[in-house]
Amino acid sequence: MEVVSRAEARARGLTEAEIDRRLRDGSWRALRRGVYATGAEGVGAAVSAAVRALGGDVVVSHESAAELLGIPLLTAPDTVSVTRAAGSTRRLSRLRVHVAALPEDHIRSLGRLRVTTPARTVVDLARRLPHPAALVAADGALHLGLTSPDDLTRVLVRCSTWPGIRRAARVVRLADGRAESPLETLCRDLFARQGLPAPILQGVVADRSTGWHARVDFLWPESWTVVEADGRVKYGEPADLWREKLRQERIEELGYLVRRVTWSQVTRQPEATVARIRRSLG
């Protein structure tokens, strides 16, 4: 996939009719007026088109930077987000332009694009997104090794007077790279907000007589309670479900009570879900 402007296409020898034909047959897609993707449209194509339309002084940021960097997001964005150091904040059709300082150590190159670093991206998101969504991004970036607590702290210090920085600082303080999925992050946030005792994340239960052991999502050892977050892609094959069934049986044979929570239960029935776990904790 390549992004080209109409002028560049003409400079390569294509006629207006040839450009129009490629747009009609679908081999090219119009990203913005006069800017086209010469293959399958994706995040990179839309972002490249926005940068080209706005000029070279913009840096891809916020949700768009997260998508390019591989930082998990709770919901997919419907706009391209960029930041420039001067000018005015604007929101156009499917494009949002932020204005903020852009120190060079907050920027990295990603192909031909300039993108905010993972640490700056997490802090930018944490300053403006709802807390659960911001925490998902922070946990994910830490878990994937894209940034570190020290990196995040340095960005917080550098941006200490910016709007929303206190919210961002709270997210950074609570972020934990042991969360292996957005659902685990939402579970942990829900448990804390509902006043449950803090569990051990990625705790280990073991059969000392045989050496068998299992790592579980959330463990309350004093209450002999385990909670597993069942995401949508956890069981790709029937064999995965069977193995998990046998694994749960072994955990229960050790004396643990196993509770499972799904995405729907956590997001649509939070009180009932917490009440069920609270009863298990005794």
Residue 1 in this model has a pLDDT that exceeds 50: no
- For residue 8, what pLDDT is reported? 77
pLDDT of 31: 58
Domain ranges for the chain, please list them: 1-41, 42-174, 182-281
Q: Residue 48: which pLDDT band, with cuts at 50, 70 and 90?
A: confident
pLDDT at 185 over 60: yes
| Structure-model confidence comparison of residues 32 and 14, the more confident one | 14
Which pLDDT tens digit goes with each residue over 257-277?
A: 999 999 999 999 999 999 999
pLDDT digits over 115-128, tens only? 999 999 999 999 99
Question: Residue 27: its pLDDT value, please?
Answer: 65
Compute CA 24 distance to the chain's CA centroid, rounded to the nearest angstrom: 35
CATH 3.30.200.20 fits 182-281, yes or no: no
Q: At 24, phi and psi to the nearest 5?
A: -70, -40
pLDDT value, residue 40: 44
Task: State the pLDDT confidence band at 25, using cuts at 50, 70 and 90.
Answer: low
CA neighbours closer than 13 Å in the CB half-sphere of residue 128: 10
State the average pLDDT over residues 56-67: 91
Other Cβ atoms less than 10 A from the Cβ of 51: the count is: 23
The percent of residues in the chain predicted with pLDDT above 90, rounded, is 65
195's torsion region: left (phi>0), alpha (psi -120 to 50) or beta? Answer: left
pLDDT digit string (tens) for 28-41? 766 567 777 665 44
Per-residue pLDDT, 178: 96
For 188-240, the pLDDT digits (tens) are 999 999 999 999 999 999 999 999 999 999 999 999 999 999 865 555 567 77
Per DSSP, the residues of 93-149 read TTEEEEE----GGGEEEETTEEEE-HHHHHHHHHHHS-HHHHHHHHHHHHHTTS--H
pLDDT of residue 43: 67
pLDDT of 100 > 70? The answer is: yes
Q: What does the pLDDT look like over 123-181, one tens digit per residue?
A: 999 999 999 999 999 999 999 999 999 999 999 999 999 999 999 999 999 999 999 99
